[in-house]
Structure formats: C-alpha cells, structure tokens
Structure 1
Amino acid sequence: MTHDRIALVVRGGWDGHQPVEATELFIPFLEASGFSVRVEEGPAVYADAEVMGTVDLIVQCNTMNTIEKDEFLGLRTAIEAGTGMAGWHGGIADSYRNNSDYLHLIGGQFACHPGKHPDERVGDATDNFIDYRVEMTDAGAGHPITAGIDDFDLTTEQYWVLNDDYIDVLATTTLAARDWDAWTRPVVAPAIWTRQWGAGRIFVATPGHSVDVLRNENVKTIIERGMLWASR
C-alpha cells in the first residue's frame, strides 16, 4: 500500500474513553485507506506549523483536557487551510473546555448524558448507559457518510449537545423528559454532524464512549466514512 496522505492521531485526556484502544481500532483502516499515520499523545503537535502543513486528516480522541493558545491557533490554521478533522464522543466534543474558540470551531459541545432512574444507579459508568435511538435526517439519508444506514439503537451514553446552526446534521437523538428530570419536554440533539471551516471539513459522531460502542457496525462504518470524507 502506498501512503499518499498523512493522518495525525491526537489522543489522551480522560482514560475512561480508552483513547489508546479506541484510536488503535481505526489506525489499520486509515493505513489500508492510504494514510501514513502519526500518533501524538496530546495536542502540542498542533503548534508545529511545519508538521501541520503536511497533515491531511486529524483524528482526535482527547477528552477533558486543555489546549494552549498556540496549539489551538495551529489547529485552526491547519483546518482553515484544508486539513480535515474527525472524532467521536468526548474525544472531539468535550476536549478543551478552557477554549471557547475551540468550541466555536467544532460547532457542538457536550453538555450532559442523562442517567438512569436514581433507584437504578450503582455508582459506576453504567449509571449513564441508557437505551436510545440515532435517527437519520433527510440530509443524512443522502450524505456519503450516512447513506444507506437506517436509524439504529444503542445502549450507552446519550449526549445532550449544545450547538449552533452552522452544522450540517446527519443524525439526531431525542432525549426524553422523564419524571425525575429537571427539563419538561423532550430535547432533540445532533448525534452526527459535519462542519465546513475555511477550506477544511470537520466530522463529529457523538456515540463512542468505549471500544464496544465503536465496534457497533453502524457506528464503526459512520466513523470510517466520516474520516475519509473529512480528509483533505
């Protein structure tokens, strides 16, 4: 396989999202798709303009971390010049809460994942694993990332996302208003979206809390297609 494109995998942050195992799941696909893959254990590389100028695709899995000003500026500059960015779950939508410009770049920010009934909680991560449906939009039905994929069900964290309308939403999920919740009506949140930023493309999928979710056939296919779509 000749590698005519470069993918930069940036991972780290909260271990609960299995950043190493999760990204290792997709590296063979990237290599088989013609990418030479470079792996970095944090965002410092974003400040290296020489490196970033060569990158065709950034795959980021870096949850609840921080980013320095020069690192963010390097990331945004690369995307505006045509580098693509792709990610899933908190690795892209809950990465750098300290930087509002990053939230602006991505277009959607994790707010919460509503949990089970208080009586059913046991004090671990499964307290936030609920059954929910990912529903394709009309735009998603005809998009190369999600074409041919029907609505599907998951049992994992359901992301409530704060977002703007400069995203192209390919799939949504509806968060119920249950008797024990503080909100009083269902909330529709984007579950899969894209965003054009300068010459660059950004792809986000909110499912992906753990490797078992990423192995779901629909989730895996969407992420693989999303990475290829986002790449320069």
Structure 2
Amino acid sequence: MTQKRALVVRGGWEGHQPVEATELFLPFLRSNGYAVRVEESTDVYADAAELAGTDLIVQCVTMSEITREQLAGLSSAVVAGTGFTGWHGGIADSFRASSDYLHLVGGQFATHPGKEPCERLGGPEDNFLPHTMTLTEAGREHPVTAGIEDFELHTEQYWVLHDDLIDVLATTTHPTRPWEPWHRPVTSPAVWTRRWGAGRIVVTTPGHSVDVLENPNVRAIIERGMLWATRTASAS
C-alpha cells in the first residue's frame, strides 16, 4: 500500500496557538500511516509538484494573507483530489481579503458573540459562552460524526456566513440577548464538509485553544475529518 502524505501548514495569529494545536495531531497522523511534512508558511501552496503528491492538507493559519499564486496552487490541488481540513480560525478565519478562498471553503467566520458587556474584562474569556453542538440528521450518518451525540462546550461560539453547497454535520444556535442587535435565534454551521472537484474539505469550527481541541468529541471529529478528507483512490 502506498503511504499517504499529509502536509501541515501553520502560522498566522499566535492567539490560536498554531504550533501547539497542530502538534497535538501529528502523532495521530503518523500512527495512521501518513508521512507528515510541516510548513510554517503558505509558500508551499505555490509548489505544484509538492501538492500533487500530497493526499491531505491540514491548515492552521488564522487571518494572515495569501498570494494569488499560493491560493491558485491550493485550489488546484483540492480540485485534483487533495483533501483539505482544519479547525476554528485556522481554516474558517483565514485570508480574510480573499473572496476566492472563501469560495473554496464555503463558510467564513463573522463574529463570536460575547458575554454581557458589564461582565467583560478585556481578555479572550469575554467571548467564552456555553453552547451546544447539535448534530444534524446528515451528521448522525456521516463517517466524520456518526455515533457522536449533541455535546456542550464553553468557548468561542462561531457565527459563520456560508453558502448552501456545504453539507452541514453539526450546528450551533446563537440565542437572542438583550445586549445584542439580532431579533431571533441564529443557527450557524459548526461542522461541515464540502466536495470541490475531486477533493474533500472538512471544517470544524470549535478549537480556539488546545484544551478545546482535547475535548473528546472535538478531537474525534477533527481526526475523523482528516481520514475522510484524505485523497481517495478514485481521485488519484
């Protein structure tokens, strides 16, 4: 059997601990037979030969910028069958200035509602709210999330803008609150997949910090997502 090749691309805003977060998953990839290459920038996306031989890209790059050549390389690789996955801002809040990247991924972080203003102290905890991850009917059947029940988190709750070409496996609902401007509860996709050409994409929105990634449900979804997104024989 040919060994699978995984490319881990990390960087961007340090608040999401790109090194510590990705290191958490390297043993899983290696124990599942992947040869793993780690890159600290998106320069590798412009290397067509490298990406052509890559079966899975795991990205953890919050905000930052991507060049036209790099994005073209990433998009072409996914269309040709390279899997693409990540969590939280490392995939859903990357390259804000690139509408083409948003088109590739299918959903983009907009905000994370916070506590009542009088309770805010100025740190990241101001945006930590208790919320539920609710599996959809599709999610209860999909290999990435099958067998996982609805679960609770106390961390950032992503409000995501998205299109309808994504297959939503789990959602989270933002309730109305007296200090917020919206007038009815808003449900956002929290875990989704996307078929793009011959490639598979998996986005998992929880993962602000390592402790969230260590949540058994979050970790299982991310790890299963890596396996599912990986290039299939029919895409080779």
Q: Is the 8 A contact 1:3 1:36 kept in 2?
A: no
Match of 1:189 in 2: 188
CA distance in 2, matches of 1:105, 1:199: 13
Q: Does 1:171 align with 2:177?
A: no
For residues 100-159 of structure 1, give each alpha carbon's deviation from its aligned partner in whole angstroms, at most 9, with x where no partner exists: 000000000000000000011000000000000000000000000000000000000000
For residues 3-41 of structure 1, give each alpha carbon's deviation from its aligned partner in whole angstroms, at most 9, with x where no partner exists: 701000000000000000000000000000110000001
Alignment-mate amino acid for residue 134 of structure 1: M
CA distance in 1, matches of 2:62, 2:176: 27
CA distance in 2, matches of 1:91, 1:98: 15
* Alpha-carbon shift at residue 207 of structure 1 (Å): 0.2
Match of 2:234 in 1: none
Alignment-mate amino acid for residue 78 of structure 1: A
Q: Which runs of 5+ in 1 are unaligned?
A: none
Match of 1:38 in 2: 37
Q: Secondary structure at the match of 2:70?
A: helix
Alignment-mate amino acid for residue 100 of structure 2: D
Match of 1:108 in 2: 107
Q: Does 1:61 align with 2:71?
A: no
For residues 54-81 of structure 1, give each alpha carbon's deviation from its aligned partner in whole angstroms, at most 9, with x where no partner exists: 0000000000110000000000000000
Match of 2:160 in 1: 161
Match of 1:7 in 2: 6
Backbone CA RMSD of aligned residues: 0.8
Match of 1:224 in 2: 223
* Alpha-carbon shift at residue 98 of structure 1 (Å): 1.3
What's the TM-score once normalised by structure 1's chain length? 0.99
Runs of 4+ in structure 1 deviating by more than 2 angstroms, as ranges, are none
Q: Secondary structure at the match of 1:165?
A: coil
CA distance in 2, matches of 1:227, 1:117: 37
For residues 166-203 of structure 1, give each alpha carbon's deviation from its aligned partner in whole angstroms, at most 9, with x where no partner exists: 00000000001100001111000000000000000000
Percentage identity across paired residues of the two chains: 65
